[in-house]
Amino acid sequence: MTRAIRLYLPKSAWPEVDQALWDVACTSGTDPFEDHGSAAHISPRTRQQLEYAYGKFLAFVSDRHPDLLKRPAAERLSRNIIEDYVSWQPKTCGRVTLATYLYHLWLILRYICSNNDWSWLLTISKRIAAQAKRRPEKHHLVTSETLYRLGVDLMDRVVTRVDGTNDISITDALHYRNGFIIAFLAILPVRRRTLTALRIGKHLVQSGNQWSLDIPAEDIKTKRALEYGIPAMLSAWIDLYVNKFRPRIPGAGMHDFLWASNRGRPMRDGIIYVTVRQCTRKALGFPVNLHRFRTAAATFWSARDPANVRGVKDLLGHASFATTEKHYIMARSRLAGRSLARVIEPWTSRSHRK
């Protein structure tokens, strides 16, 4: 009988010394004058990613080199061990994913074995990432305008189908919700974690006929509070969702989260991610993930209103304009290319006539 291979070790299954090193690195306190751990500043999400990467590496060690677990953490790694670790990964593990695993492994080693030089591991991660196949660029150039139209079209189909009747099926309610998610993200491209956590009456607040989005700093990755005034048309779609369609989703009345699932609980971030990809793939011919809504917003704004492009920083909640600038450059270079094509076209036509 073939022995099952564990692909991940949870923190509780790590060697006790490794657990202790990581706990010390993550130690934090409220007194700014006290010493904190080297990893105390990282977010819970990042901590989870680093623990997962280290857990995968330890699963490999326990499978292929169990004697290494008796050694200190810093003595378990070498270029040969990492090469074996790469070959140990399942065939379904892509180069981008593998590069990410190694990058996160490099990060956590810097915290738990800070006296060692791990730059060689970062170099390997970068090389693997450079060899990864890139997605077709056309998948990345969808605009906020296109996405908003798609969301509105999905909602409008449902409204037309149920117009004049109170006989709204669960399927109708879910289709409307899916269109609303897409339209919402096209106008307000918040991060995935923030999107999932939105609650009616806490983050999404109504004043008269107008809705607004108010997200406190503690719910934002960059710890900067965000406040969005929602356009009147989107506010009208929100009214329909909250008052007419959301109540038809089973269990929606049991919680105040904006996105209700048909399983009697709020939608999880993974379900929102899959739902949006499925809807966009069906309508556009290719999937658009949640982060692409943020890229689309930056690209669309920089192309349509370059004079005020720095406003994208506030729209996306970036800590600095540097993160936003690459989208601005991409959009401007594309417009410049079109201008060059218009200039060249008459000359190309002349040469063909000769």
CATH number where 257 lies? 1.10.443.10
Quick one: 170 and 96 in the same domain?
A: no
Pair type for strands 226-229 and 204-207:
unpaired
Within a domain: 346: no
Within a domain: 334: no
Residue 235: which residues within 8 A CB-CB, separation 6 or more?
209, 210, 211
Quick one: 126 and 146 in the same domain?
A: no
SS3 260: strand
Within a domain: 343: no
Within a domain: 108: yes
For the chain, percent of residues with pLDDT exceeding 90: 46
| Residue that finishes a domain, picked among 70, 97, 131 | 131
| Count: domains in the chain | 2
Q: What angle do CA 185, 337, 144 make, to 5 degrees?
A: 10
Euclidean distance between CA atoms 86 and 211, whole angstroms: 50
Q: What is the pLDDT of residues 18-77, one digit of tens each?
A: 999 999 999 876 666 566 788 888 888 789 999 999 999 999 999 999 999 999 999 999
Quick one: 222 and 262 in the same domain?
A: yes
pLDDT of residue 210 exceeding 80, the answer is: yes
Per-residue pLDDT, averaged over 262-287, amounts to 92
Name the E strands within the chain: 204-207, 210-215, 226-229
Quick one: 15 and 79 in the same domain?
A: yes
| Residue that finishes a domain, picked among 89, 108, 131 | 131
What's the chain's average pLDDT? 80
Quick one: 162 and 287 in the same domain?
A: yes
Q: What is the pLDDT of residues 240-258, one digit of tens each?
A: 999 999 999 999 999 999 9
Quick one: 90 and 202 in the same domain?
A: no
pLDDT for 352 equals 41
Quick one: 240 and 180 in the same domain?
A: yes
| Residue that finishes a domain, picked among 96, 111, 131 | 131
pLDDT of residue 344 exceeding 50, the answer is: no
Quick one: 121 and 194 in the same domain?
A: no
Note whether 296 and 142 are within 8 A (CB): yes
Per-residue pLDDT, averaged over 12-20, amounts to 94
Closest C-alpha to 293, from 136, 211, 185 = 185
Quickly list DSSP for 191-242. -HHHHHH-BBTTTEEEETTEEEEEE-GGGSTTS--EEEEPPHHHHHHHHHII
Per-residue pLDDT, averaged over 197-219, amounts to 82
Euclidean distance between CA atoms 316 and 188, whole angstroms: 8
pLDDT band for 337, please (50, 70, 90 cuts).
very low
Note whether 240 and 247 are within 8 A (CB): no
pLDDT of residue 191 exceeding 50, the answer is: yes
pLDDT for 345 equals 42
210 has which bridge partners?
207
Within a domain: 15: yes
Within a domain: 319: no
Q: What is the pLDDT of residues 146-177, one digit of tens each?
A: 888 999 999 999 999 998 777 899 999 999 99
pLDDT for 30 equals 61
Within a domain: 202: yes
HEC profile of 162-199: HCCCCCCCHHHHHHHHHHHHHHHHHHCCCCHHHHHHCE
pLDDT for 338 equals 41
Closest C-alpha to 298, from 142, 135, 136, 137 = 142
Euclidean distance between CA atoms 182 and 290, whole angstroms: 9
Residue at 191: amino acid letter: R
Per-residue pLDDT, averaged over 91-119, amounts to 92
pTM: 0.59
Quick one: 182 and 279 in the same domain?
A: yes
Quick one: 163 and 269 in the same domain?
A: yes
pLDDT band for 232, please (50, 70, 90 cuts).
confident
Q: Which of 85-94, 109-118, 173-182 has the lowest mean pLDDT?
A: 85-94
Quick one: 87 and 150 in the same domain?
A: no
Note whether 85 and 57 are within 8 A (CB): yes
Quick one: 169 and 292 in the same domain?
A: yes
Within a domain: 2: no
Q: Which two tokens stand for residue 39?
A: 């990893």
Per-residue pLDDT, averaged over 292-316, amounts to 56
Domain with 187 in it: 142-301
SS3 9: coil
Q: Is 180 exposed, middle or buried (0-12, 13-18, 19+ CB in 10 A)?
A: buried
pLDDT of residue 82 exceeding 90, the answer is: yes
